[in-house]
C-alpha cells in the first residue's frame, strides 16, 4: 500500500484555510503539476509522514499548505490530495472509469478477494448489476423487523450489562470508569455497536447470529480484518509466504472463514430462504443469464459481511459520542422518538417519520465519514482543478476534509443536524457530502446502514439516557475506517 502509518493521533486542534476552494492558477499554465513539498531523491516525502500524527492529518496539512490539489511523493508513488466538491465530483461521477481501485486495495484482497469493494472493470460492472436489486430502498425494508428485534434484544441485555474487557484495559487506577463498570451501569459503546452490527449483518446474510456470542467464526472475522487493515496501513509488508506468526494466524482465520462461508453456501443451495445469501444464489445476470461462480459468491459474501459490521459500528459509536456531548440534540431526538413511537416498538411507517433522528445520522456521517481517506489509481492522464495528474498516480480523496470545508459548511466542527434540512441540502454543491461516496460506485449497502443507524439511535433513546463519563475529547484516527482513538464509555440510565 502507498500509505505510511495510519495508527497515530493528531496532536493539536485542526485549523483550516478559509480561502476560496477553487484553485487559482495562471491561464498560461493549464496543465502545470500541482504544488507540494519538494521531494528528496528516492524516498520522496516519506520523512514528512514520520512523526506522531495520524496519516489523515498529514494529508489535511498538505491541503492547508498547498491548496485544493496538493501533490506529495511517497517513494516512487505520486499522490494527489483532492477535497473540493467539484474535484471530488469529477473523480467519482464525471470520469469514474479513469479512477479505479487498482493496487491500493491489494492488502484487502487477501481477505475479500475480488468482491465489489475491490474489483474493477467488467467484473465489477457484472457483479454490481447482479447485486443491485437486493439493496434498493424497497428491498432492504425486508430486514426492518429483524433489525428491530435484534436491537431490542441488545437493549434488554443492557439492563444487566457485563464488564467490558476494553474498558477494564483502558481504565487507570482511580479512573472514574472503574466503579461504574463494576456496578454494571457503564457501557463501552465500541463493543456494543460492534456486537449489534455483527448480529444484524450475519442474520441478514446467513440467517445466524454471529454477534451476540463470541465464537470461532466471529473471532476469525475480527482477527482477519485487523490483520489486513494493519498490513494495508504499513509502509513495508513482507510477502505472505514468509512464515511469520501473524501470517500463520491470518491463514488460520481465513480457513475458518472460508469453511464457514462454504458451509453456508452449501446449505443455501439445499434450502431456499430470504437471506441475502439465498437471494445471491438465485440471482442471474440480466444480460447473460449466468449466476455467480463459487469463488465470486464467496468473495461477495465476505465483502458484504465485513462492510456491513465494521464501518457501521464505527459510525454508531461516533454518533453516541456526539450525542453524549450535545444533550440539547439528544433531548430533541428523544422528544421526536417519544412522539413517533408512543411507548411501543417502531413500525416501518415510523421509520419515515423520524426526520430529526435521520438528520442526526447524516450529521454524524458528515463529521466522521466511514472512510476518511479514499484512494483511486489514475488510469490515464487527466486534469483536475487546472493541474495535470499523470497516469499511475493516486488521487487521495478526503471525505473527512471535504465534509469540513468552511466555505461549504459554516462553523464546520459544530454538530448541527439541521444542516440536513431540505433547504440547506439544496444549496450545497454536488459531492460536498459523500459518506457513501457517489457516482456509479456509491456504497451498495448505504440504505441498509442508514436504516440500521436510525433504528439504533431511536430505540436506545426511547429506553435509556446515555451520559458521558468524562469531558475528554476523543480524536479520530484512520485505520482503514474512521476510528475513535480510544474506547467510548457512557453511563447508562434507564428512562423507566
Q: What is the pLDDT of residues 193-241, one digit of tens each?
A: 999 999 999 999 999 998 765 588 888 988 998 899 888 777 678 899 9
Tell me what pLDDT residue 404 has: 96
Q: Is the pLDDT of residue 179 over 70?
A: no
What distance in Å separates the CA atoms of residue 35 and residue 46, rounded to the nearest whole number? 17
| Averaged pLDDT of the chain | 87
Is 331 a domain residue?
yes
DSSP 91: I
C-alpha cell at 212: 451476540
174-178, 257-261, 334-338 — which is least confidently predicted?
174-178
For 288, the 3-state DSSP assignment is coil
Q: Is the CB of residue 210 less than 8 Å from the CB of residue 194? A: no
Q: Find residue 278's DSSP bridge partners.
A: none
Tell me what pLDDT residue 214 has: 56
DSSP 413: T
CATH number of the domain enclosing 452: 1.10.630.10
Residue 170 has φ and ψ, to the nearest 5°, of: -90, -15
Q: How many other C-beta atoms can be found within 10 angstroms of the C-beta atom of residue 384? A: 23
Is 5 a domain residue?
no
pLDDT tens digits, residue range 397-424?
Answer: 999 999 999 999 999 999 999 999 999 9
C-alpha cell at 392: 499511475
Mean pLDDT of 177-200: 75
Task: Give the residue, 6 or 326, on which the prediction is more confident.
Answer: 326
Tell me what pLDDT residue 237 has: 81
Mean pLDDT of 479-484: 86
Residue 462 has φ and ψ, to the nearest 5°, of: -65, -35
Among 146-155, 184-193, 267-276, 283-292, which range has the highest average pLDDT?
146-155
**β-sheet with 69-74: strand ranges across:** 69-74, 77-82, 394-397, 374-378, 99-100
Among 54-63, 175-184, 225-234, 457-466, which range has the highest average pLDDT?
457-466
pLDDT tens digits, residue range 336-370?
Answer: 999 999 999 999 999 999 999 999 999 999 999 99
Orientation of helix 327-341 relative to helix 294-325, angle to 10° = 110
Q: Is the CB of residue 80 less than 8 Å from the CB of residue 425? A: no
End-to-end C-alpha distance for the chain, whole angstroms: 51
Q: Is the CB of residue 399 less than 8 Å from the CB of residue 434? A: yes
Domains contained in the chain, number: 1
pLDDT tens digits, residue range 50-60?
Answer: 766 788 888 88
Sequence-distant (6+) residues with CB within 8 A of 296 are 114, 127
For 359, the 3-state DSSP assignment is helix
Q: Is the CB of residue 249 less than 8 Å from the CB of residue 223? A: yes
Q: Where are the beta strands (DSSP E) in 173-214?
A: 186-188
Mean pLDDT of 30-43: 88
Is 36 a domain residue?
no
Single out the residue of 69, 81, 86, 23 nearest to residue 430, CA to CA. 86
Range of the domain at 129: 46-494
222-236, 310-324, 464-478, 479-493 — which is least confidently predicted?
222-236
Strands 77-82 and 394-397: parallel
Tell me what pLDDT residue 321 has: 98
Tell me the C-alpha to C-alpha distance, in Å, between residue 272 and each of 60, 258, 362, 478: 49, 21, 36, 40
Tell me what pLDDT residue 54 has: 80
Is 407 a domain residue?
yes
Is 17 a domain residue?
no
Orientation of helix 189-205 relative to helix 144-157, angle to 10° = 150
Question: Where do we find the cell 431526538?
Answer: 333
Q: Is the CB of residue 22 less than 8 Å from the CB of residue 249? A: no
Q: Is the pLDDT of residue 31 over 90?
A: no
Single out the residue of 477, 385, 420, 402 nearest to residue 70, CA to CA. 385
Mean pLDDT of 179-189: 62
What distance in Å separates the CA atoms of residue 37 and residue 39, rounded to the nearest whole number? 6
Tell me what pLDDT residue 128 has: 93
Confidence of residue 264 (pLDDT cuts 50, 70, 90): very high
pLDDT tens digits, residue range 13-28?
Answer: 444 443 333 333 333 4
Q: Is the pLDDT of residue 148 over 60?
A: yes
Single out the residue of 371, 299, 370, 392 nearest to residue 102, CA to CA. 392
Confidence of residue 480 (pLDDT cuts 50, 70, 90): confident
Is 11 a domain residue?
no
Is 37 a domain residue?
no
One-character DSSP codes across 314-330: HHHHHHHHHHHH-HHHH
DSSP 119: -
Tell me what pLDDT residue 1 has: 34
Single out the residue of 242, 296, 323 nearest to residue 488, CA to CA. 323
Sequence-distant (6+) residues with CB within 8 A of 459 are 148, 151, 152, 155, 345, 346
Tell me what pLDDT residue 13 has: 41
Tell me what pLDDT residue 3 has: 35
3-state percent breakdown (helix, strand, coil) of the chain, nearest 5: 50, 10, 40
pLDDT tens digits, residue range 69-89?
Answer: 999 998 889 999 999 999 999
pLDDT tens digits, residue range 106-141?
Answer: 889 999 999 999 999 999 999 999 999 999 999 999
Q: Is the pLDDT of residue 376 over 90?
A: yes
Tell me what pLDDT residue 146 has: 97
DSSP 430: T
Whether the CA torsion 414, 417, 420, 424 is positive or negative: it is: negative
Q: Is the CB of residue 161 less than 8 Å from the CB of residue 185? A: yes
Confidence of residue 7 (pLDDT cuts 50, 70, 90): very low
DSSP 93: I
Tell me the C-alpha to C-alpha distance, in Å, between residue 337 and each of 341, 417, 445: 6, 15, 25
Tell me what pLDDT residue 170 has: 43
Tell me what pLDDT residue 222 has: 86
Q: 183: phi > 0 → left, psi -120 to 50 → alpha, else beta; which?
A: alpha
Is 34 a domain residue?
no
Amino acid at each position: 500500500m502507498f500509505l505510511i502509518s495510519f495508527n497515530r493521533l493528531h496532536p493539536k486542534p485542526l485549523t483550516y484555510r478559509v480561502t476560496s476552494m477553487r484553485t487559482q492558477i495562471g491561464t498560461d499554465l493549464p496543465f502545470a503539476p500541482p504544488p507540494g513539498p519538494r521531494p528528496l531523491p528516492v524516498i520522496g516525502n516519506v520523512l514528512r509522514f514520520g512523526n506522531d500524527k495520524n496519516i489523515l492529518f498529514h494529508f489535511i496539512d498538505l491541503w492547508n499548505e498547498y491548496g485544493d490539489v496538493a501533490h506529495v511523493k511517497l517513494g516512487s508513488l505520486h499522490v494527489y490530495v483532492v477535497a473540493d466538491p467539484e474535484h471530488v465530483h469529477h473523480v467519482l461521477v464525471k470520469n469514474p472509469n479513469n479512477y479505479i481501485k487498482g493496487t491500493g486495495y491489494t492488502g484487502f484482497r487477501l481477505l475479500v478477494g475480488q468482491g465489489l469493494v475491490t474489483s474493477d472493470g467488467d467484473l465489477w460492472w457484472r457483479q454490481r448489476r447482479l447485486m443491485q436489486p437486493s439493496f434498493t430502498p424497497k428491498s432492504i425494508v425486508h430486514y426492518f423487523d429483524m433489525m428491530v428485534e435484534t436491537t431490542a434484544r441488545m437493549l434488554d441485555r443492557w439492563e444487566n450489562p457485563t464488564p467490558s474487557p476494553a474498558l477494564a484495559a483502558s481504565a487507570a487506577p482511580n479512573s472514574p470508569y472503574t466503579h461504574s463498570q463494576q456496578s454494571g451501569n457503564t457501557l463501552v459503546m465500541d463493543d456494543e455497536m460492534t456486537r449489534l452490527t455483527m448480529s444484524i449483518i450475519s442474520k441478514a446474510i446467513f440467517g445466524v447470529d454471529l454477534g451476540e456470542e463470541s465464537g470461532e467464526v466471529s473471532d476469525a472475522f475480527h482477527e482477519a480484518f485487523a490483520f489486513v487493515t494493519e498490513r494495508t496501513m504499513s509502509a513495508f509488508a513482507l510477502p505472505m509466504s514468509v512464515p511469520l506468526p501473524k501470517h500463520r494466524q491470518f491463514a488460520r482465520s481465513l480457513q475458518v472463514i472460508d469453511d464457514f462461508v462454504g458451509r453456508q453456501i452449501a446449505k443455501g443451495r439445499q434450502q431456499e430462504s430470504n437471506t441475502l445469501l439465498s437471494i445471491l444464489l438465485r440471482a442471474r445476470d440480466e444480460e447473460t443469464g449466468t449466476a455467480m461462480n463459487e469463488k465470486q459468491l464467496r468473495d461477495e459474501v465476505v465483502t458484504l459481511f465485513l462492510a456491513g459490521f465494521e464501518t457501521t459500528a464505527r459510525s454508531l459509536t461516533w454518533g453516541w459520542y456526539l450525542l453524549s456531548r450535545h444533550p440539547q440534540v439528544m433531548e430533541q431526538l428523544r422528544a421526536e422518538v417519544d412522539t413517533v413511537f408512543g411507548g411501543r416498538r417502531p413500525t416501518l411507517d415510523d421509520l419515515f417519520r423520524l426526520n430529526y433522528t435521520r438528520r442526526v445520522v447524516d450529521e454524524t456521517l458528515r463529521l466522521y465519514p466511514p472512510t476518511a481517506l479514499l484512494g483511486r489509481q489514475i488510469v490515464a492522464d487527466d486534469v483536475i482543478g487546472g493541474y495535470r495528474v499523470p497516469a499511475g498516480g493516486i488521487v487521495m480523496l478526503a471525505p473527512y476534509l471535504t465534509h469540513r470545508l468552511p466555505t461549504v459548511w459554516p462553523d464546520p466542527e459544530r454538530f448541527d443536524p439541521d444542516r440536513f434540512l431540505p433547504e440547506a441540502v439544496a444549496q450545497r454543491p454536488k459531492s460536498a457530502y459523500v459518506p457513501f461516496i457517489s457516482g456509479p460506485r456509491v456504497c451498495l449497502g448505504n440504505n441498509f446502514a442508514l436504516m440500521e443507524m436510525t433504528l439504533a439511535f431511536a430505540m436506545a433513546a426511547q429506553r435509556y439516557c446515555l451520559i458521558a463519563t468524562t469531558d475528554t475529547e476523543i480524536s479520530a484516527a484512520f485505520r482503514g475506517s474512521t476510528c475513535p482513538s480510544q474506547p467510548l464509555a457512557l453511563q447508562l440510565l434507564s428512562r423507566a
